[in-house]
Amino acid sequence: MSDTPSMNMLHCGRHWLDISFPRVMGVLNVTPDSFSDGGRHIAVDDALRHAERMLAEGAAIIDVGGESTRPGASPVSPQQELDRVAPVIEGLVRELDALVSVDTSAPEVMKEVTALGAGMLNDVRALRREGALQAAARSGLPVCVMHMIGEPGDMQDAPHYDQEIESAVEQFLADRIGACEAAGLHRERLILDPGFGFGKTVEHNLRLLNRMDTLKRFELPILAGMSRKSMIGKVLERPVEERLSGGLALATLAVERGARLLRVHDVGPTVDAANMTWAVLQEGLEP
Ligand code: 9MG
């Protein structure tokens, strides 16, 4: 990415986000499997307390998602998504003044969450749903566009590419940047994501991370999300609750290969890993 000051600041609604150094996005899933047994009110409250902890540990952004994008997951309706995320977004904005990103592909949801005070959109389908490009353009917010082949329901059924994975991802993102610009969504508002774990084998993921610096040619911020993913489980043979060390190794490499945003569950340790990596890359003490 360029070192021009304007390229290092993202205008996220009422927040400005400084990405002149790596920043951490904390994951806040509000899908039914992430709710506690205590009923809806308690679940919203739990979500807010969890977000508060992530902010205290150094998260710059909270990414709220109401649709599970895990392999095999089924899609939900926009109304279901909104019912899940809206009360949490309201609380994050009102009580915590947090910079909220919303993980959604639905244009209806994009419109509503913008009105609720979200500061960023995160679309794993890269604005390919009907009306999504227009909704994102109208929101005025930065948008993360991610590479994925297939849908969460089938994306891990023998993913195959006719070219090297990094070329496929680069081509896809170049096409999506073009589509965004044609829809009036300016380039300065885009964040690119290679989509680790989305329609990729473990070999694809490892190669893609190793060569992720090829995406720097777009001169746009890069977001990487690998926290607790199965690529760690497969290489280290660890269950999901034992993937922190592997995740920190991947976060470190992602920063070295150009990522300025890391989407993670374990915020505190990742902030330290990213700041330490950055200090070496900058040969200085301050993040
Ligand atoms: C929602 N979600 C799950 N994994 C993700 C990843 O790797 N990147 C982005 N942008 N979103 C993700």
Question: How many whole angstroms separate alpha carbon 72 and alpha carbon 258?
Answer: 30
195: left (phi over 0), alpha (psi -120 to 50) or beta: left
Where are the extended beta strands (E) located within the chain? Answer: 9-12, 15-18, 23-29, 61-65, 100-103, 120-123, 143-146, 190-193, 223-224, 261-264
Please state the atom number of ligand 1 nearest to the C-alpha of residue 195. 7
Query: How far is ligand 1, taken at its centre, from the CA of residue 263, in Å?
Result: 7
Instruction: Report in angstroms the alpha-carbon separations of 189 from 56, 137, 143, 176, 193.
Output: 27, 9, 6, 13, 13
CA atoms within 13 A on the CB side of 268: 7
The SS3 assignment for 258 reads coil
Instruction: Report in angstroms the alpha-carbon separations of 201 from 133, 138, 158, 205, 212.
Output: 29, 35, 8, 6, 16
CA-wise closest residue to 127 among 190, 196, 38, 84: 190
Catalytic residue check, 263: yes
Where are the extended beta strands (E) located within 61-99? Answer: 61-65
Please state the atom number of ligand 1 nearest to the C-alpha of residue 103. 1
Pocket of ligand 1 (CB under 6 A): 65, 69, 103, 122, 124, 144, 146, 193, 195-196, 223, 225, 263
**Residues 6+ away with beta carbon under 8 Å from 42:** 36
Q: What is the pLDDT along the chain (287 residues), one digit of tens a residue?
A: 545 545 799 999 999 999 999 999 999 999 876 654 455 666 999 999 999 999 999 999 999 999 888 877 788 999 999 999 999 999 999 999 999 999 999 999 999 999 999 999 999 999 999 999 999 999 999 999 999 998 777 777 778 899 999 999 999 999 999 999 999 999 999 999 999 999 999 999 999 999 999 999 999 999 999 999 999 999 999 999 999 999 999 999 999 999 999 999 999 999 999 999 999 999 976 66
Pair of tokens at residue 114: 């913008």
Pocket test for ligand 1, best of 81, 122, 223 (most atoms within 8 A of CB): 122
Query: How far is ligand 1, taken at its centre, from the CA of residue 264, in Å?
Result: 9
* Residue-level pLDDT at 31: 84
Question: How many whole angstroms separate alpha carbon 97 and alpha carbon 271?
Answer: 20
* Residue-level pLDDT at 153: 77
Catalytic residue chosen out of the listed positions 84, 200, 229, 257: 229
Pair of tokens at residue 62: 């909270």
* Residue-level pLDDT at 32: 78
**Residues 6+ away with beta carbon under 8 Å from 98:** 51, 55, 61, 62, 92
Which pTM was predicted?
0.95
Query: How far is ligand 1, taken at its centre, from the CA of residue 265, in Å?
Result: 11
Judge contact between 176 and 193, C-beta under 8 A: no
Please state the atom number of ligand 1 nearest to the C-alpha of residue 197. 7
Where are the extended beta strands (E) located within 77-155? Answer: 100-103, 120-123, 143-146
* Residue-level pLDDT at 5: 47
* Residue-level pLDDT at 150: 81
* Residue-level pLDDT at 71: 79
Place of tokens 């994008």: 69
Q: How many residues would you count in the chain?
A: 287
Place of tokens 């003044």: 97
